Amino acid sequence: MDQKLLLVGCGKMGGALLAGWLGRDVPSSNIIVVEPYGGDSLREQFGVSVVESLQDIVPDIVPDIVVFAVKPQAMDDIVPLYAKFVRPETMFLSIAAGKPSSYFENLLADGAAIVRSMPNTPAAVGRGITVAFGNEFVSDAQKAVATSLLEAVGEVGWVDDEGLIDGVTAVSGSGPAYIFLMIECLAKAGVEVGLDPELAEQLARATVAGSGELARQSANSASTLRENVTSPGGTTAAALEVLMADDGLQELMNRAVAAAEERSRELAN
């Protein structure tokens, strides 16, 4: 990629993206990071240009891509500073939760090409999934560039209806917390049947991680994978009778995702 890229904010998610881009051979000379904290360590770690503020950038540099990776609560003060870069050739990519494209349209100039994306925390280890939405000014070429940039930390999907981002947030954005809770619960259940807490934690972590990797690599559906583990009348079947009861895991998950989606809509408004 020979386009100029401006990364605004380099915390955990911004750092994961930056590492992913450099790992995919994006030239470090094409990237400028705007980060008021830890500039020296970022330069040493990534070998990119780091400035503390937009005012420190050489005046004649016009980025082709501006990635907003700052905390949502800081956006009001930061985004308007980048309105001067609005042009058809420049794409603005946000990874901030709860900030719709209309929010950026109001803070930037008319005609800004805006991609709103929802990544999740497994991006930190290159196993994330991000779903994106592009407003009417995003070209097919810019969409392809956004896909390439986001694929640096995992899988990428797109939606044509921005309202679906709330559902995405509820399933994959918040989803890692559900899986971590499952590890906690499985480990505690192990302790309840007499296992040492340390062993129970090890078993729960390895089981969830291994099952996730098996699901990722397998062409079979999750239902088929579940059935492959379940012998009629066996131990797994006994457990699944509880988990798959009418008031079992599916009902709980439906309620949890619905609650998260509702809260996502509230935060966006």
pLDDT reported for residue 40: 85
pLDDT reported for residue 86: 95
pLDDT reported for residue 1: 65
- Chosen CATH of 5-165 out of 3.10.20.340, 3.40.50.2300, 3.40.47.10, 3.40.50.720: 3.40.50.720
- The pLDDT of residue 96 is above 90: no
Token digits for 153?
């930390």
- The pLDDT of residue 77 is above 70: yes
Mean pLDDT of 252-268: 93
- The pLDDT of residue 102 is above 70: yes
Residue pLDDT, tens place only, 26-44: 899 999 999 988 788 898 8
- Chosen CATH of 173-268 out of 3.40.50.460, 1.20.1290.10, 1.10.3730.10, 2.160.10.10: 1.10.3730.10
* Residue limits of CATH 3.40.50.720 in the chain: 5-165
Lowest mean pLDDT among 54-58, 111-115, 198-202: 54-58
Residue pLDDT, tens place only, 174-217: 999 999 999 999 999 999 999 999 999 999 999 999 999 999 99
* Residue limits of CATH 1.10.3730.10 in the chain: 173-268
pTM of the model: 0.90
- The pLDDT of residue 109 is above 90: no
Residue pLDDT, tens place only, 15-25: 999 999 999 88
pLDDT reported for residue 146: 97
**Structure-model confidence comparison of residues 58 and 239, the more confident one:** 239
Mean pLDDT of 39-58: 87
pLDDT reported for residue 53: 87
